Structure 1
Amino acid sequence: MILYIIDICYLVAVVLFILGIKLMSHPDTARRGNGIALSGMILAIVASFFTPGLNNIILILVAMALGTVGGLYFAKSVKMTAMPQLVSFFNGMGGAAAALIGLVEYGDLPVDEVGKGAVLMASLVIGSISFSGSMIAMGKLQGVIKDIRINKMLGFTILAVAVALAVYIIASGQPQPVLVYVVVLLALVYGLAFVYPIGGADMPVVISLLNSLTGVTAATTGLLYDNKVMLMGGILVGSAGLLLTLLMAKAMNRSVANILFTSFGTAAGGAAAGQTGDQVVKEINQYDSSILLSYAKRVVVVPGYGLAVAQAQHAVHDLEKALEEKGVEVLYGIHPVAGRMPGHMNVLLAESDVPYDKLIEMDDMNEQLPSTDVVMVIGANDVVNPAANDDPSSPIYGMPILEVNKAANVIVIKRSMSSGYAGIENALFFDPKTRMLFGDAKKVLTGLVSEVKNM
């Protein structure tokens, strides 16, 4: 009877997961959706304590307490700019947990259990790849790990050897503890070789894919323990992560294979402000910018990672309100891969209470840009680079962008003329309609608010 009650609790928990994910798709209901998903997780955890034969409850409670305290601390203390790194870290911990479970369970698994052996090996291999790959992704996002070119065939060879050893262990019908550790080591190395060569501009897609892999490991662990909530929850995470990966690749007009198996996106420095060859950069000061903004009918703000770095989301919302008091329509153009993780700009602007209906997706915004008086680009680079449309030799050629060069005027707020994560020069900066407003985004925007209010 108790097993039926546990299964019912698990089913309710999965329904709560699905409902929570659905509500998270809109900022107005995201907080409620997060709470509903959390309640589903709490229900699943409580129900698992009633599993017959459960041992070491004290150790489990201690581990849960440590994890809860650590998770709350990191979630509360992390800066918004480091949120992608935190996501990568937590994702890697999920993969590590699956791999460790596989190592623990291997010693108790009968060698003739071929089906469970295959599931266990899948958890070991995929979990290890997800862990080491996520750690490298976190280091790249933090800027402490640089791109390293690794022969792709070497990586595939390492993976093939790991899989072949896993198959041999299953087929041998004999305990192979040493070979199991070799499989884990090879999978960890492949995770490094897999993520190291991928450029920083592609990290959002890689994070999404690694998140999907962690979901798969949760599902395989659920199969191993015959735990239905782990199985269904893992399937949800795995399928959602894979779908997001495909959608983001489409937003970049590239295939997932092209992103994963080419070395596009190495960050590099750009030229100094002022002039590059025969291309002259035109600058503008805060006062002239405030005049241009105040007398516009429509202003479109295009946020990028630089906005997050400067933590200027509240300042840009203040500027939006100051302009609206003068009758200016202010909208935000959101590129699908702006920032360092999916939805980064949406989360950032929601934090400063920017109305959701002002966040316009790329395709819809591109239709409005030709009739826009001023576009203000804040910290964005590659997602507004017209080379994606005009230069067939550019590595981002064909990537859908926000076509801000079609607006009447463009103001670009940047610290310097450095290139974006794709490591290429932005032709927009030299467009005759573009004016560069150099400085820290938060300070510049705060100054613009004062100028607009005094006008």
Structure 2
Amino acid sequence: MTTVLANVFIYEPSSWLSVVFVLCFALFIYGFIGLTTIPSAPRGTISGFLGMVIAIVATYLWFNLEVADVDLAPEVVPSAAYWVLPICIVGGGAIGVALAATVKMTGMPQLVGLLNAFGGLASAIEAIALYVDPIAEVGLEPGESRLQLGFLLFTVWVGMITFTGSLIAVGKLSEKIKGSVLPIGLLRFLIITLQLASVALMLVTGLSGYGIEYPSDPTDPTLEGIFGPKAEQVIDAGRGGSIGLVLALTGVSSLLGVVSVLPIGGADMPVVISVLNSLSGVSGCTAGFMIANNLLIIAGAIVASSGAILSYVMCKAMNRSITNVLMGGFGQGSGGKAAAKAEGPVEQKTANPVELDELTDILLRAHSVIITPGYGMAVSRAQHAVQEMTSLLRANGCNVRFGVHPVAGRLPGHMNVLLAEAKVPYDIVLEMDEINSDFEETDVVLVIGANDTVNPAAETDPTSSIAGMPVLRVWGAKTVVVLKRSLAQGYAAVENPLFFNDNTRMFFGDAKKNCDALVKQLGEKNPAALKAAGAQNGDAAAPKKKTSPDLFEFQEPKRPGAGEGIGAGKTIGVVKEREPEVRVAITPQIAARFAEWGFDVVVQSGAGLAASRAAFTDAAYQRAGATVVPDARGVYDKADIVMGVARPRPEDVRMGRNGQVVVSYVGPNGDFNNKDAATGLIQAAVDSGVTLLSMDLVPRTTIAQRLDSLSSVGKLAGHRAIIEAAFEFDRFLAPEITAAGKYPPAKILVLGAGVAGLAAAGLGVALGAEVRCFDTRVETKDQVKSMGAEFITVEFEEDGAGEGGYAKVMSEEYYQKELELFEQQCTEVDIVVTTAQIPGRPAPMLINKQAVANLKPGSVIVDIAAMSGGNCEETRPGEKYITPNGVKILGYTDLPGRLAPQASAMYAANLYRLIEHMSKGGKKAWAVDTDDATIRPMMISHMGQKMWPYKAPGGPPPPPKAAAKTAAPVKEEGPSNYDLYWLGMSPEMWLAFCVGIAVFALIAAFFPTSFAEQLAIFVLACVGGYHIIWGVTPSLHTPLMSVSNAVSGVVILGGMLLLVAGDKSGTFVLGSVATSVAAINVFGGFAVTWRMLSMFKK
């Protein structure tokens, strides 16, 4: 196909127009790349708009400069096109700009849906216009004619489905369409029937042909009067097609779009809008194939990629498949069973409400606040009140940030746009993955109108319908306040246990009214903050001081008045550790924080010197408000709470008194080589009446996460293990290419994907090594992959998850398979880091002598589990050992101590959180509560009674597990999937490969050469679009959709080219309509994108 438009073969395109289209394509690409960051997004939008304007102007100039010179009869020359085109473009553009200027940001999803509809409609109209063109097939080879007709019919089908489906989606989003009056079963039957009817109509129409049948005599007056000297070329043009078939296809496709979207629930409309956005790109792309325009093909492929990726992002954020959404989702999508379930009474639980005055005080006391907005905030239009509250809190010195879930709004990134409209600085609005790790260090979390996106059942209840859904982990904060109308369930019809947590308070009512009341109360209670916030002319005020309670930097303590504070009348004591322990329990920074709570602090002289290499001096403690005493006796005599790191000696505890609390690592199960190591200590604690709390018995619960010092220790040990391994390895970890040659990356094997293993894997990847990780708990696979490492498994099915999140002891068969795997891996890797430990038992032996022998000379094994005996058969605890074959085995038992200052600071922070927890979040005086679900499991002795071992109260039995499969039956059934791999490809991959080869063979055999060229352009555009769209920052996903709508308006070029058909033809009229509709997309899409981006302020 050698022409710009198939039916205008008589107009040979100029090379300059093709060059201009290449420039426009480059500008489109730069426009999408600009959306990778917020600062560059406006430049990208200008680039995309400039590319579109150049394409339109160039096409119009080509039309004027070249079409007028063609030798045609006067009746065919499209004289009216010269002035009709500007009217169509300006008129449609004005409508688009008006829509963009007047839409409210809460109505942005509806506008995006409307632009989707216009994109599909414009493509469909162009296809119908080409069908009725009297010379549609002139100059085409038979294969080209069939190809053009096929894409024409497919464009009608996709375009009309997109048009009507988008209109229904807009109606549902605006709540003008409540749901389907027809049963879901009938609707699905109609969908299948209409799909079959569409295929039948396309086949019949394709066989009938299209165009008008002309006389075979070139001198016939009919031909001569219309086509002049070109009449001979028209003889074989028509085949007598029927426009009725195309109109029937148009009607069936329109109805298919309606019934496909109608049964889907309103809450799923954001996904539907994204899918329809992709379909608008597909319709534009097929229109490009139809008229042989490469720019349309490329732009349509990129837009289709954008919609597909955003659909995937939203489905992944809901932990659902696209099929599940499009087939109705929860409760058939529109309420149904889910809604009925949500309305009925659930389980009788009691939530803790909070009043306005109390909530205001909580916020004014907070150093750090995270706001997690949900759809309820958007519905009540509370974003401006939330911004005012943000300004007041920041002016008060509070560190305020926002945590946004991908599906918090009605489109990906919609919540970011709403906050930007309210002038919330975009640099304090973070995505879920960016902020999830910060909730544990946050004083207050405000959940405004969110439910399923903050539901802990997604992570704690494997039987829940939202199990596995990524959520904001708000429950880890010190205090969670939920602003919600009621305790009703969310769209997933799942009860939210967050509402009933001890650290959660419910502030019932309309989000906007409650936020307005909060703003008013905050201003009245803190006039200075109100004035500071007002001075910013409505912009969010910047914090006036460093606000977060930084537990790792020193701040001068501000002691409360006499008798005030949670620690009034109480003293915390810190003892000096005995060698070889080099850490200290409390740092000067934490001592200062305790002083602010009203505690007196006493420190044994020299306690911090070993840990800090003279950084934690006695003078530093005194500056923090502590009293330094010469010996441990002085600490025990004065302190109500004695804090240490290593297991105390029995004689130390005997210095204590009845009711005194001693906190340290106790290890009541003893050591791996001495089960009775703690027996004497426990008896001494009972005899002296001391309350002995063991930091290694902190329960693995959500509330206790901030107390979990074992996780802190594990992270440090994993980090240091890689540092020690790198030092001993004496070679590059990352791949290097130098003048001396090319050096491959080091290969690291990490055994165990707990905190230590993940820390080791993460640092290994960061240093450039190739890391592979193994764990018996398959559920850790995603965590390993998120660190950039490879997860390896044993070809044997057995669940390795034990109680409390630890791994359990595996069967002997599984163990033997493990050893075989590790022996094989050791033939490939350079560094092995082992972390596997089971509480109360010797560490499992994972690296046997054969595995060690398989390692290359110079390889390194770091055995983090050396303190428990080690995971390597040749480990020597506390030593570095070099085997006869040159393998270095590091059995160091003090890896955390080799980062003593950092380890001390982290352990001190855990103790700080312990005291905070024992004072009910800092709200009540510190006390020992034997009924506390976190403190009781840690308790070894209390007031002369032995409290260990702890027996947890009975709870509901766990759900039954499927019977474990063994290796033997699997082998009897046939080869495993792994055995079926050939040349690294699975059977499914080979099937897809063969199908692809067959498709390309058919194209080569039956399709014209021109199609192969266009197909290559299409494939490259899809690949490029995929990578470009994935680079777009999530906060700009809504602008991405609107700019995609604008780019999909490139079908305007097809409408302009169709006006070549002549002033009096139906093609001319339909082309004019298509041009106007596409202009709405072009100018409306770019205008609303610019409007949104202009709202994002830092």
TM-score computed with the length of structure 1 as normaliser: 0.92
SS of corresponding position for 1:27: coil
RMSD between aligned residues: 2.4
Equivalent-residue separation in structure 2 for 1:314 and 1:27 (angstroms): 21
Structure 2 counterpart of 1:158, from 180, 187, 194:
194
Would you say 1:248 and 2:307 are equivalent positions?
Answer: no
1:93 corresponds to: 118
Q: Deviation at 1:425?
A: 4.7
2:37 partner amino acid: H
CA contact (8 A) 2:105 2:421 kept: no
If each structure's helix is expressed as a fraction of its own residues, which one has the higher value?
Answer: 1
Equivalent-residue separation in structure 1 for 2:522 and 2:394 (angstroms): 11
Would you say 1:342 and 2:412 are equivalent positions?
Answer: yes
Structure 1 counterpart of 2:477, from 398, 407, 422:
407
1:251 partner amino acid: A
1:59 corresponds to: 84
Q: Which moved more, 1:122-131 or 1:372-381?
A: 372-381
Would you say 1:299 and 2:310 are equivalent positions?
Answer: no
After superposition, residues 122-141 of structure 1 pair within 5 angstroms as 122-141=154-173
SS of corresponding position for 1:333: strand
Quick one: structure 1 residues 260 and 161, their matched pair in 2 at CA, closer, same or farther if it must change by over 3 Å?
Answer: same
Q: Deviation at 1:419?
A: 4.4
1:150 partner amino acid: I
Q: Which runs of 5+ in 2 are unaligned?
A: 1-11, 69-77, 210-239, 527-1098
2:297 corresponds to: 231
SS of corresponding position for 1:280: coil
Structure 2 counterpart of 1:172, from 208, 218, 221:
208
CA distances 1:261-295 after superposition (whole Å, capped 9, x unpaired): 233243448559xx965223332222211211121
1:441 corresponds to: 511
How many percent of aligned residue pairs carry the same amino acid? 41
CA contact (8 A) 2:106 2:418 kept: no
2:192 partner amino acid: F
Structure 2 counterpart of 1:378, from 424, 445, 448:
448
Equivalent-residue separation in structure 1 for 2:159 and 2:146 (angstroms): 19
SS of corresponding position for 1:25: coil
Equivalent-residue separation in structure 2 for 1:23 and 1:198 (angstroms): 34
Equivalent-residue separation in structure 2 for 1:224 and 1:50 (angstroms): 22
After superposition, residues 252-271 of structure 1 pair within 5 angstroms as 252-264=318-330, 265-267=333-335, 268=339
Would you say 1:182 and 2:276 are equivalent positions?
Answer: no
Structure 2 counterpart of 1:4, from 15, 19, 44:
15
Q: Deviation at 1:139?
A: 1.0
CA contact (8 A) 1:201 1:422 kept: no
CA contact (8 A) 1:44 1:229 kept: no
Q: Which moved more, 1:358-367 or 1:332-341?
A: 358-367
Would you say 1:22 and 2:33 are equivalent positions?
Answer: yes
2:207 partner amino acid: A
CA distances 1:1-60 after superposition (whole Å, capped 9, x unpaired): 972222222222222222122222333333332222222211111111023438423222
1:369 corresponds to: 439
1:185 partner amino acid: G
Quick one: structure 1 residues 7 and 250, their matched pair in 2 at CA, closer, same or farther if it must change by over 3 Å?
Answer: same
CA contact (8 A) 1:317 1:352 kept: yes
1:121 partner amino acid: L
Equivalent-residue separation in structure 2 for 1:325 and 1:393 (angstroms): 45
1:83 corresponds to: 108
1:366 partner amino acid: N
Q: Which runs of 5+ in 1 are unaligned?
A: none
1:102 corresponds to: 127
2:184 partner amino acid: I
Equivalent-residue separation in structure 2 for 1:300 and 1:280 (angstroms): 25
CA contact (8 A) 1:141 1:203 kept: yes
Q: Deviation at 1:251?
A: 1.8
2:472 partner amino acid: L
Quick one: structure 1 residues 31 and 75, their matched pair in 2 at CA, closer, same or farther if it must change by over 3 Å?
Answer: same
Equivalent-residue separation in structure 2 for 1:8 and 1:16 (angstroms): 13
1:287 corresponds to: 357
CA distances 1:128-164 after superposition (whole Å, capped 9, x unpaired): 1111111111111111212335333431231122023
SS of corresponding position for 1:412: strand
SS of corresponding position for 1:193: helix
Would you say 1:116 and 2:184 are equivalent positions?
Answer: no
2:408 partner amino acid: A
CA contact (8 A) 1:208 1:242 kept: yes
Q: Deviation at 1:423?
A: 5.0
Q: Deviation at 1:392?
A: 4.8
Would you say 1:357 and 2:384 are equivalent positions?
Answer: no
SS of corresponding position for 1:167: helix
SS of corresponding position for 1:367: helix
SS of corresponding position for 2:319: coil
CA contact (8 A) 2:455 2:497 kept: yes
CA distances 1:162-202 after superposition (whole Å, capped 9, x unpaired): 02320221133350221111111111111112111222222
Equivalent-residue separation in structure 2 for 1:99 and 1:423 (angstroms): 40
SS of corresponding position for 2:372: strand
Q: Deviation at 1:418?
A: 4.8
Q: Which moved more, 1:170-179 or 1:125-134?
A: 170-179
SS of corresponding position for 1:301: strand
Equivalent-residue separation in structure 2 for 1:431 and 1:266 (angstroms): 30
Q: Which moved more, 1:97-106 or 1:307-316?
A: 307-316
Q: Which moved more, 1:252-261 or 1:338-347?
A: 252-261
Q: Deviation at 1:302?
A: 0.5
Structure 2 counterpart of 1:310, from 380, 386, 393:
380
Equivalent-residue separation in structure 2 for 1:379 and 1:28 (angstroms): 29
Q: Deviation at 1:399?
A: 1.8
Quick one: structure 1 residues 308 and 105, their matched pair in 2 at CA, closer, same or farther if it must change by over 3 Å?
Answer: same
Q: Deviation at 1:231?
A: 1.9
Greater relative contact order (CA < 8 Å, ≥ 6 in sequence): 2
Equivalent-residue separation in structure 2 for 1:38 and 1:124 (angstroms): 27
Equivalent-residue separation in structure 2 for 1:145 and 1:417 (angstroms): 26
Equivalent-residue separation in structure 2 for 1:16 and 1:419 (angstroms): 47
Would you say 1:216 and 2:274 are equivalent positions?
Answer: no
Q: Deviation at 1:218?
A: 0.8
CA contact (8 A) 1:80 1:308 kept: no
Structure 2 counterpart of 1:328, from 385, 389, 398:
398
Equivalent-residue separation in structure 2 for 1:147 and 1:9 (angstroms): 47
Equivalent-residue separation in structure 2 for 1:99 and 1:115 (angstroms): 17
Larger-gyration structure (1/2) = 2
Equivalent-residue separation in structure 2 for 1:158 and 1:25 (angstroms): 40
Equivalent-residue separation in structure 1 for 2:299 and 2:388 (angstroms): 40
SS of corresponding position for 2:252: helix
Equivalent-residue separation in structure 2 for 1:371 and 1:28 (angstroms): 29
Q: Which moved more, 1:111-120 or 1:54-63?
A: 54-63
CA contact (8 A) 1:200 1:421 kept: no
Would you say 1:192 and 2:251 are equivalent positions?
Answer: no
Equivalent-residue separation in structure 1 for 2:389 and 2:439 (angstroms): 20
Q: Which moved more, 1:87-96 or 1:360-369?
A: 360-369
Equivalent-residue separation in structure 2 for 1:51 and 1:427 (angstroms): 66
Quick one: structure 1 residues 9 and 404, their matched pair in 2 at CA, closer, same or farther if it must change by over 3 Å?
Answer: same
Q: Deviation at 1:299?
A: 0.9
1:170 partner amino acid: G
Q: Deviation at 1:248?
A: 2.0
Equivalent-residue separation in structure 2 for 1:257 and 1:33 (angstroms): 34
Would you say 1:142 and 2:178 are equivalent positions?
Answer: no
SS of corresponding position for 2:418: helix
Equivalent-residue separation in structure 1 for 2:166 and 2:252 (angstroms): 16
CA contact (8 A) 1:266 1:422 kept: no
CA contact (8 A) 2:148 2:291 kept: no
